[in-house]
């Protein structure tokens, strides 16, 4: 389990200090946990899973996927499956447009904060 904690941190592109801060730990404590020299409480497992959308079964055993699916993924798939093919195609076009719009807004936000 301890190596999976490091794997989560790396997947999230966080350094030890950032990750430890989310857990209410010191960086040196997290470093010892990652190499198995320090125990990890159930409370911290719950915090990691809730904060970073991590699959608790994967964290504890290595079974399954690291991340839980999005909160909306199952609902969206269910809706999509119940649409007619033409409507599915329209939904895909609209989703791509939303993605493009989001990217433009993020780029605009990034450019305005760098002034």
CATH fold of 2-61 reads 434 Repressor (Amino-terminal Domain) (1.10.260)
Single pTM value for the model = 0.58
Cα–Cα distance measured from residue 41 to residue 43, given in angstroms and rounded to the nearest whole number: 5
Residue linked to tokens 């030890």: 16
Q: What is the pLDDT of residue 71?
A: 67
Q: What is the pLDDT of residue 44?
A: 87
Q: What is the pLDDT of residues 55-70, one digit of tens each?
A: 999 999 999 999 987 7
Q: What is the pLDDT of residues 46-58, one digit of tens each?
A: 989 988 889 999 9
């Amino acid at each position: 389990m301890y190596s999976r904690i490091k794997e989560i941190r790396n997947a999230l592109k966080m350094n030890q200090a950032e990750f430890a801060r989310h857990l209410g730990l010191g960086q040196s404590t997290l470093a010892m946990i990652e190499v198995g020299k320090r125990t990890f409480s159930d409370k911290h497992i719950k915090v990691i899973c809730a904060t970073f959308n991590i699959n608790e079964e994967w964290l504890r055993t290595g079974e399954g996927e690291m991340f839980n699916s999005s909160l909306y993924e199952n609902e969206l798939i269910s809706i999509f499956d119940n649409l007619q093919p033409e409507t599915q195609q329209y939904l895909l076009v609209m989703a791509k447009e939303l993605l493009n719009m989001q990217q433009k807004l993020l780029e605009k936000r990034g450019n305005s904060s760098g002034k």
